[in-house]
A = this chain, B = another copy of it.
Amino acid sequence: MSDQQLLIIDDDATFARVLARALGSRGFEVITASNADEARALTRRHQPRYCVLDLKLGDENGLRLIPELQALVPEIRVLLLTGYASIATAVEAIKRGAHDYLSKPVDADAVVRALLDGDTSTGDDELVDAPEAPLALRRLEWEHIQRVLTECDGNISETARRLGMHRRTLQRKLSKHPVRERPDSDD
């Protein structure tokens, strides 16, 4: 049923792979691109109906890509996804034709929900078994912390600064958390 093609455009290979898996298991036929050119080529070739686009593509700006993709596939639904969200870019994205805008971290169900939201063209019983279960706040916080921590090469002081929280507080959070790592949870 679900021959719904979905193009993921993200220069973060790890993230793209994880998301691809998660969405694949939810009934999408996923292809991924890691830069704008690749994205254009794949879009031309596969005419995907859905697209998950990272705002920050290397030095390129994902926003520019939105109209291009829509020119290639008029009915494409573009979901912007970014770790550096802001209201200004969200406004821009929607103005340029994005269907929705989410900030990382997200869970795959939220992505699916956003993609299918308002979509009438699918007999979407197949795709939507996505139970509406947003991340609990705690987990969202934890994942975000981990993301930034990694970005800071484990530097706690720097991470705390970027997160706008006290170093001591970060320390305490990190120390009391059950350090379970599951790099490929798609849930």
Contacts and interface: CB of A to CB of B under 8 A. Distances in A.
B103 A135 contact: yes
Contact of A127 (B63, B130, B181): B63
Interface string A119-145: 001101001111111111111110111
A100 to B, nearest CB: 6
- Of A64, A88, A141, the most chain B CB neighbours within 10 A belong to A88
Total copies of this chain within the assembly: 2
A46 interface: no
A5 B101 CA distance: 33
A185 interface: no
Interface residues of A, number: 56
A96 B181 CA distance: 22
Nearest to A95: B121
Interface stretch (A8-16, A24-32, A37-45, A159-167): A159-167
A134 B122 contact: no
A86 B137 contact: no
Nearest to A139: B164
Contact of A132 (B67, B100, B137, B162): B162
